[in-house]
Structure 1
Amino acid sequence: MKKVFSQILQHKISIVLIFTIGLVICALLKTQVKVDYDMNDYLPDSSSSTVAINLMEKEFGGGIPNARVMISNVTVPEALKYKEKLLKIDGVSDVMWLDDAINVKEPLETQDSSVVDTYYKNKNALYIVTIDADKRVKAVDAIRGLIGNDNAMTGAAVSTAVATQSTVQELAKIIKIAIPIVFFILILTTTSWVEPIIMLVSIGAAILLNEGSNLIFGTISFVTNGAGNILQLAVSLDFSVFLLHSYEEQKRQGLSAKDAMLQALNKSFGTIFSCGLTLIIGFAALVMMRFKIGPDLGLALAKGMCFSLLTVFSFYPVIMIISDKWIEKTRHRSFMPKFDLLGKVVSRIMIPLVVIFCLLIVPSYIAREKNDFYYGSSHIFSSSTQSGKDSLAIDNVFGKSNNMVLMVPKGDTATESKLNNELKKIAEISDIISFVNNAGAEIPMQYLDKDTLNKLESNHYSRMVLTVKTEYEGEIAFDTVKKIRATAEKYYPGKWYLAGESVSTYDLMDTITDDDVRVNLIAVAAIFIVILMVFKSWSIPVILVLAIETAIWINVSIPYFKGYTVFYISYLIICSVQLGATVDYAILFAHRYLEFREKYVKKKAIQKTIAVVAVPILTSGTVLTIIGYLLGYITTHGILKQIGILLGGGTLLSMAVVFFVLPGLLYLSDRLIEKTTKGVKFKHKELEE
């Protein structure tokens, strides 16, 4: 690689020009990248709920009901007028209310009270609304404009529309806060006022290249858009920090800027490249998820790491050399303390800490699997947000409720009637709007008005709209889905289609829980192989992976012990991201330990290693922690919030393990490491001071 780096440093202007052109192009391309906030869009195409939704849109020209709108203090005539106004909103394809279930011209007191209370209760009208996916934001804004803040709306379409708008604003806020904080941290950990600027410019270039090139995907998920850039900033900072510290070491030996950078590139290439490769593999493992947010985030982040490596090995060193005079003119004293004392303290307490660590391995592994999970998007907004308050207001009046739509082959009204009657026996179903239920099997279709008929009958299928008194997800909701599917299978074996948010969430649960073991095994195995190849050791990969994996298990077991529910997608993503992002610290520690172990006895090598790696690890780890917590405490999107909090806490745990536990593991495994690592020769015990 020395010849390659030499060529790069000799063609500084060309490198800057190439990057400048690429950045201008990507700045234009990033505006064309679309973001999808609907989790259900990322279900496998073969899942039964996805097949049902696609068929329903084809047969009926619209999707499933995806919003509930409540208007308070209205009479029946006023409620009917509001229904007409809702139907006129661009993007609203269907609105169902009480008049679709009963004849509202007759006294409500004479009607089935359970049906009436489903749609109209204490002068509150509840509408079941279907909003087109491509007009969600516009339609939800229009509905809010119609009903005002005093009334309420909830549902998947509403959550998606609100997330679309709020997340963009919140991410901008996070970036505005994060950049000054990162700059301040870099000021503390570098010795020039200019170096942090160059570092941020370099990382920003890699992020912009990645953002613009996301156009190859056409559309990216809200997770990728919300966390991708922030994660790339935090995890790729390692590369620049590692190279900078190596460069400073070479300059202190009296070399010129160019020679120092060439030596630094050659010396740090193995560490940086192995760290980058583990990140790429860790993120790429998400591609193996059947739930398509995983591949979406994994490919984007893996690509981002490639751009970060490309930048740190070309653009960053070139800019450093070009700016050398400015760097030297703006030198300041180091604001970081020496960490020799930390090394001595750790060397005294590391063995008891290893014992405590080992005692935590099994309980944390078991606890992580006992977490309670949310699988869908129905809980992404807390009760402190407008969406959360709206959902609570509707639930307080009408109770927990959602809608499912069942399609069966058209033509056999007798069988439809039997199916309809048996579905009514399911306790959680409070109402059914269907041809046989509302008109009766004995009434010919030509006697029904066209609008009603179009809602319930297509050329090939009959449609039943079921109102289910459950939450969108949970044990009762999922059990109801299974009951409805079993009942439909009884009368129409293999010929029925069921759709709805609960149905999609049930399929989502099946999909992403199946992904868990596969994704983690692939990530761990791949990173193990990379570390094995880099260190040419059988024992070091076991030690490093075990150390970081245990930090992950402790991190994701905390919600279980605290008693709060975790979004499964957040849990699954953080398991891969924390492994990829923080195993770098363990790799750097092990690299430097092996170097020092050839010169010093094992306890002294531990102390020297901690003193040398403390600043780069603390720099990267602090940035990753702060950015994680900023994401966690600023965004209102539940999934992104949990990713941020778990990332912040997980990084702290990984740093703690690397600084306080890994030294003990290496110390206790010293003889084993020497015997199972190719090309190393350690100081012998009898020479220990």
Structure 2
Amino acid sequence: MKRFGMFISKHKIMIIIVALLLVIPATLGAMITPINYDILSYLPQDLDSMLGQNILDKTFSNAATSMLILEDVQSNETVKIKDKISQIDGVERVLWINDLVDTNVPKEFLPDDVKDLFYRENSTLMFIQFKESPSSEATQEAIETIRKTIDKESYLAGLSAIVKDTRDLADKETPIYVLLAVILCLLVLMISIESYLVPFIFIFSIGLSILYNLGTNIFLGEISYITKSLVAILQLGVTMDYSIFLLHRYDEEKQSIEDRNEAMAQAIAKTFSSITGSSITTIAGFLALCTMSLAIGKDMGLVMAKGVFIGVLSTITILPAFILVFDKPIHKYKHKTLLPGFEKTAFFVTKHYKVLAVLFILIFIPALYGQGHTKVYYNLDESLPKDLPSIVSTNKLKNDYNMTTTHFIVINDKFSSHQVKNMVEEIKKVDGIENVLSYDNILGPGIPESFVPNEIRDFSMKDGYKLILANSNYKSATDEANHQIDKLNDIVKRYDKDGMVTGEGALTKDLVILADRDFKTSSMFSMLSIFAIIMFVLSSLSVPIILVACVELAIFINMAIPFYTGTIIPFIASIVIGCIQLGATVDYAILLTTRFREEIRNGLDKIHAMEVAIQGSARSIITSALSFFAATIGVGLISKMEMVKSLCVMLSRGAMISMVVVLFILPSILLISEKVIEITSRNWKEKGSFKLKIEKEENNHEI
């Protein structure tokens, strides 16, 4: 590694030039990487709801359907609007009452099912089918064109419209997230680092690694909008430590090595082992998300793990080059840091460690209970501002037409009209079903099949399948809606064992089931993997248990706060918080523990060893936690997307909770368990002859 460090040091100008040139392909890659704004599309493809959704998409071109409400519009004007929308690129067809009967026919003469579906007192409803999925570019452009075509007294509802508003809001807010995270991180670095120039060098270097990460996402095919919104701020928050480690080691090496290039080469060699050890747990936490059944976990996990890896590479290549080039002004323009020496903190913790250990047990119980009872929501519309056009329209659809959720039922077309009508009658009797629309009940007793237009036939019967629409006044993801879908599935399966109930309600129901399973799976994987890493690094059976338990306490406290404050959080936060917080903040615990072990090996008794450990590591821990806090809290305060807002609030809060637990609770557990640790650890008090040694230069020097 020393040779590699010397190569970087001697070729610093070339490294900077290459780094800047890589910005071009990285920027292009980031710009052309497709972004998926449809969370439901990340469900496993073998679910009935997803299989049905694929049939809607490929056979009926109906996977993306919007509902348009027109108020106080005459029939002839409605027909004109329908014709205009039908001509828009991306629109497959528009279904309205004139596809069934002449508009001159009085409403009173229509069957009740048909009349209630298309009319209310002063409004009418039409269905718009798109050619592609809700999040496709063609559908999104079509939504925008439709909105330009209709007036203010019109309301466009449905998942496609919600996805459109989500996309616009995310694209608008993401640059603000990054800017705010940069400003707040700069403030933290100004407080904790002596140089005026270093914070800007750190931000620029990390900014390049973030851009490389975004650019290489093109090889993943696409990423979710949640990943896109969070990747920059998370990567900034979790990789800042590596830059600090390198700078401190470089300053230390300069004290004994006169040649700057050689000092940096030595710093790179020694820092590499340190940041590798630190990054492994963070990467493990992100990779734990890949164990989720929901593909969005893999999406976020891979992108963030890749970001941490790129951050490590950037720290040992690009950052050293910039530090060497700007070495003189870095060390010329300095100021005093505002962080204290933490002698009082160390004395307080060691004096009251038994009380703090009891506090650990007392807090653990309500924290565990609270996190297990925190309520979550699964609806995409819940995460968006209530004044967005799609949300206003969805509420309008619910209030005027009692059409909160539309279930799509796909069955084989071999079943007779009589059988389908019987099934439809059973479906109508299910609680919460407002109306049911099918090819067979549209015909009615007095309408010959030859009178049915091709548009209606293609809408509801095609390529061996029949499509039935059941409109529900229950909101998806509620217990009532899920129970309703169970009843619909029972009815459909009795008539057609291969029949499928799909649509937003069924997809969200599957999301609820999988999210609970994924939470348990990803949490267990992250704990076990990080336990194994700590056990390997520290050669101990008891220390991993203590460290993981302490960080899990911090996670439980973080997750319990919404329960005790009566806050409902988005499902994605409940799944990913544990993995990210554990992976990103367990380093604080490792840092303190390794310093404690070092002082024990130096011959100090456990109390004095812990005092020195706290004083030596507190600044690094607090700087790391504040950097993570700064990168995420701004987003949590300003974001209008509740899903992103809640996640960032919990991440920022989690960093601070982990910091407090590690500085106050962990030392007490280590002190009480020190005898047990010695028995269950190899070479706890003496360095082994063959030992994996991780350089922790931040333990020995102030930031």
TM-score bin (small chain)? over 0.9
**SS of corresponding position for 1:45:** coil
8 Å Cα contact 2:284/2:526 also seen in 1: yes
Residue aligning to 1:354: 357
Question: Partner residue of 1:383?
Answer: 386
Q: 1:305 Cα shift?
A: 1.0
Q: Which of 646, 665, 674 is the equivalent residue of 2:669?
A: 665
Distance 1:447 1:397 in 2: 30
- Structure-2 residue corresponding to 1:91: 90
CA distance in 1, matches of 2:221, 2:58: 24
- Tell me whether 1:156 sits opposite 2:159 in the alignment: yes
- 2:645 alignment partner, one of 634, 641, 647: 641
| 1:314–1:227 distance in 2 versus 1, CA, 3 Å | same
Shift of 1:259: 4.8
The offset of 1:71, in angstroms, is 2.6
Which of 178, 199, 203 in structure 2 is aligned with 1:200? 203
Per the TM alignment, residue 516 of structure 1 is displaced from its structure 2 partner at its CA by 1.9
Check whether the contact 2:482–2:509 (CA below 8 A) recurs between aligned residues: yes
Whole-Å separation in 1 of the counterparts to 2:308 and 2:627: 17
Aligned mates of 2:387, 2:453 — CA distance in 1: 44
Aligned pairs for 1:369-518 within 5 A: 369-399=372-402, 401-411=404-414, 412-440=416-444, 445-493=449-497, 495-518=498-521
* Aligned amino acid, residue 450 of structure 2: Q
Change (3 A) 1:151 1:81: same
Contact 2:5/2:266 (8 A) holds in 1: no
2:334 maps to a residue whose letter is R
Give runs of aligned pairs for residues 29-44 of structure 1, distance below 5 A.
29-44=29-44
Q: 2:249 aligns with which of 246, 249, 257?
A: 246
Distance 2:618 2:403 in 1: 52
Query: Letter of the aligned partner of 1:627 in structure 2?
Result: A
> How much does 1:266 deviate?
4.5
Answering whether residue 628 of structure 2 is matched by residue 624 of structure 1, we say: yes
> Which structure 2 segments of 5+ residues have no match?
688-703
Secondary structure of the 2:341 match is coil
CA 1:155–1:627: 2 relative to 1, 3 Å = farther
2:684 counterpart letter in structure 1: V
Equivalent residue for 2:316, pick from 313, 319, 330:
313
Map residues 534-553 of structure 1 onto 2, 5 A cutoff: 534-553=537-556
Report the CA distance shift for 1:151/1:348 in structure 2 as closer, same or farther (over 3 A).
farther
Deviation per CA, 1:453-492: give whole Å up to 9, x if none: 1112113112112212211221111111111111011111
Contact 2:65 2:160 (8 Å CA) reproduced: yes
> 1-side partners of 2:369 and 2:98: how far apart?
52
Residues 1:522 and 2:521 aligned together: no
* Structure 2 residue corresponding to 1:136, chosen from 133, 136, 139: 139
> Kindly tell me: are residues 586 and 387 of structure 1, through their superposed partners in 2, closer, same or farther at Cα, counting changes over 3 Å?
farther
The more displaced of 350-359 and 462-471 is: 350-359
**1:189 matched to 2:187:** no
Matched residue count: 681
For 1:24 and 1:585, locate their aligned partners in 2 and report how far apart those are by CA, in whole Å.
Answer: 36
User: 2:579 maps to which residue?
Assistant: 576
Counting only pairs closer than 5 Å after superposition, residues 284-303 of structure 1 correspond to structure 2 as 284-303=287-306
SS at match of 1:198: helix
Contact 1:674/1:682 (CA < 8 Å) preserved in 2? no
Residue deviations 1:53-75 (CA, integer Å, cap 9, x gap): 21233322x12353333232334
Tell me the secondary structure at the aligned position of residue 281 of structure 2.
Answer: helix
Kept in 2, the 8 Å contact 1:413–1:441? The answer is no
Q: How far apart in 2 are the matches of 1:277 and 1:206?
A: 17
Judge conservation of contact 1:98–1:120 (CA < 8 Å) in 2.
no
Partner of 2:684: 680
1:430 alignment partner, SS class: strand
Give the CA deviation at 1:383. Answer: 2.1
Contact 1:115 1:430 in 2 (8 A): no
Identity in percent: 28
- Whether contact under 8 Å (2:288, 2:301) holds in the other structure is yes
Q: Residue 24 in 1 paired to residue 24 in 2?
A: yes
Shift of 1:255: 5.6
1:32, 1:117 → 2: CA distance?
Answer: 45
Listed one character per residue, the Cα deviations across residues 393-418 of structure 1 (whole Å, up to 9, x for unaligned) are: 44333335221221211142222122
Distance, in Å, in 2 between the alignment partners of 1:348 and 1:73 is 76
How far apart, in 2, do the equivalents of 1:55 and 1:198 lie? Answer: 53
1:231-287: CA deviation from partner (whole Å, max 9, x where unpaired): 111101121123323333444567654454445445444432121011111111111
Quote the Cα distance in structure 1 between the aligned partners of 2:157 and 2:637: 23
Q: What amino acid is the match of 2:326?
A: S
Q: 1:114: how far off? A: 6.8
Q: Which amino acid aligns with 1:476?
A: E
Whether 1:331 aligns to 2:334 is: yes
* Deviation, structure 1 residue 128: 3.2
Seen in structure 2, the aligned counterparts of structure 1 residues 407 and 608 have a Cα distance that, compared at 3 Å, is same
Structure 1 unaligned spans of 5+: 684-689
Q: Does 1:71 align with 2:70?
A: yes
Taking the aligned partners of 2:353 and 2:121, their CA distance within structure 1 comes to 66
- Output the amino acid matched with 1:475: D
1:318-373 CA distances to partner (integer Å, 9 max, x unpaired)?
Answer: 32223212212222333333222222233334432332222222332233232322
Cα distance 1:174–1:511, how it changes in 2: closer, same or farther (>3 A)?
A: same
CA contact (8 A) 1:68 1:127 kept: yes
Q: Aligned partners of 1:23, 1:82: CA distance in 2, in Å?
A: 47
2:698 corresponds in structure 1 to none
1:465 to 1:389, Cα distance in 2 relative to 1, 3 A? closer
Q: Which amino acid aligns with 2:53?
A: I
CA RMSD of aligned residues (A): 2.5
Secondary structure in structure 2 of the residue aligned to 1:432:
strand
Aligned match of 2:230 in 227, 232, 247?
A: 227
Give the secondary-structure state (helix, strand or coil) at the position aligned to 1:379.
helix
Structure 1 residues 373, 127: closer, same or farther in 2, change over 3 A? farther
Provide Cα deviations, 1:7-30, integer angstroms capped at 9, x if missing partner: 443443443344344333322322
CA contact (8 A) 2:188 2:630 kept: no
Q: Secondary structure at the match of 2:383?
A: coil
Given that 1:136 and 1:158 are in contact with CA atoms closer than 8 Å, whether structure 2 keeps it comes out as no
Deviations 1:270-312 (A, max 9, x none): 4321210111111111111121111111111111111111111
Note closer, same or farther for the CA distance 1:441–1:114 as it changes in structure 2 (3 Å cut): closer
Calculate the TM-score normalised by the size of structure 1: 0.92
CA distance change for structure 1 residues 520 and 417 in 2, over 3 Å: closer, same or farther?
same
Change in Cα spacing, 1:596 to 1:359, as seen in structure 2 (3 Å) is same
Cα pair 2:100 2:456 within 8 Å, conserved? no
User: 1:78 deviation in Å?
Assistant: 4.0
TM-score, normalised with respect to structure 2: 0.91
What is the CA–CA distance in structure 1 between the aligned matches of 2:119 and 2:631, rounded to whole Å?
Answer: 47
Q: Which amino acid aligns with 1:59?
A: T
User: Does the 8 Å contact 1:539/1:677 carry over to 2?
Assistant: yes
1:118 shift after superposition: 4.3
Shift of the 64–33 alpha-carbon distance from structure 1 to 2, 3 Å rule, reads closer
Task: Report how far residue 81 of structure 1 moved.
Answer: 3.9
Match of 1:687 in 2: none
- Work out the CA distance in 2 between the residues paired with 1:172 and 1:354: 44
Partner SS state of residue 209, structure 1: helix
Distance 1:671 1:579 in 2: 26
Amino acid paired to 1:94: R
The answer for the alignment partner of 1:120 in structure 2 is 119
CA distance in 2, matches of 1:275, 1:368: 27
Distance of 1:99 and 1:578 partners within structure 2 = 56
The 1:102/1:126 distance shift into structure 2, 3 A limit, reads: same
